[in-house]
A and B are shown apart, each in its own frame.
Chain A
Amino acid sequence: MKLSLSRDLDEISRIVAATHTWFAAQDVSDSLLFPVDLATEELFVNMIRHNPSKPDKITLELDTVEHGVAVQLTDYDVERFDPRSAPTPDISAPASERRIGGLGLHLVANVVTALDYDYRNRTSTVRFIALENDQRV
């Protein structure tokens, strides 16, 4: 599955619809739907927030892998931002000290099996794999 996405949060509903249709046609576990939805949304939103006004589309690709799903998001003509380098939030802080935001990439790291990043020719490519029963690669 391949989608070309505008930098608009309303594209999330199109991502969800296309992802669920694609899952229904594949031999992959529905248990992966939640982590794939979550990681895709968080990474897509992160790309929009880092480069909100670029004219270029963001490309989303889904493929099956053994026991799971591989998802790739590609953002063109942007500065480098490796989502794996995002600061880790203090999840043990009391509510009074918790700030709103900063959790998205932390959640991604928790729900996917592997997360990779590549940057070349001003193109950012984020790829994650979600495996059934979280079989670590």
Chain B
Amino acid sequence: MFEVSPIQAGQVELIGRLDAAQAARAETLFERLIGAEVLDLSSLEYISSAGLGLLLKLHKQKMAVGDGLRLVEVSPHIADILHYSGFDKLFDVMPATK
């Protein structure tokens, strides 16, 4: 299951598994994130290419209005996926500290 939870203004937490089975539900949840600037991934257990596509779509929407996304508390496995996809060059990525 995948969930999105607000932390504070402009910052939300992604929770669970962001896979192809969750992509349609996640896309609906992401539509509410256009005001978010920081995505906290500390509780994101897993992401596949389907989830990366949603991140890219949201990032492009932000870029269109002169903003971007920061990904914080990124676990090593997810950092690897961001690196293999080149997304670590598209986003400001901060590794996990917890």
Contacts and interface: CB of A to CB of B under 8 A. Distances in A.
A38 B21 contact: no
A72 to B, nearest CB: 19
Given A38-B81, A41-B19, A92 B89 contact: yes
B59 A45 contact: no
A12 B21 contact: yes
B77 A92 contact: no
Nearest to A109: B84
A16 B89 CA distance: 30
A96 B59 CA distance: 10
A12 B20 CA distance: 8
A107 B85 contact: yes
Best-buried of B17, B23, B86 by chain A (most CB within 10 Å): B86
Nearest to A100: B53
A83 to B, nearest CB: 13
Interface string B48-85: 11101100110110010000000000000100110011
A95 B59 contact: yes
Contacts of A10: 21
Best-buried of A34, A42, A106, A110 by chain B (most CB within 10 Å): A34
B96 interface: no
A contacts with B: majority SS: helix
A13 B21 contact: yes
B60 A104 contact: no
A104 B48 contact: yes
Contacts of A55: none
A101 B54 CA distance: 10
A28 interface: no
A119 B85 CA distance: 28
8 contacts: A13-B21, A38-B81, A42-B48, A91-B84, A92-B89, A95-B90, A98-B56, A100-B56
Interface of A: 9-13, 16, 34, 37-38, 41-42, 45, 89, 91-96, 98, 100-101, 103-104, 106-107, 110-111
Interface of B: 17, 19-21, 23, 46, 48-50, 52-53, 56-57, 59-60, 63, 77, 80-81, 84-86, 89-90
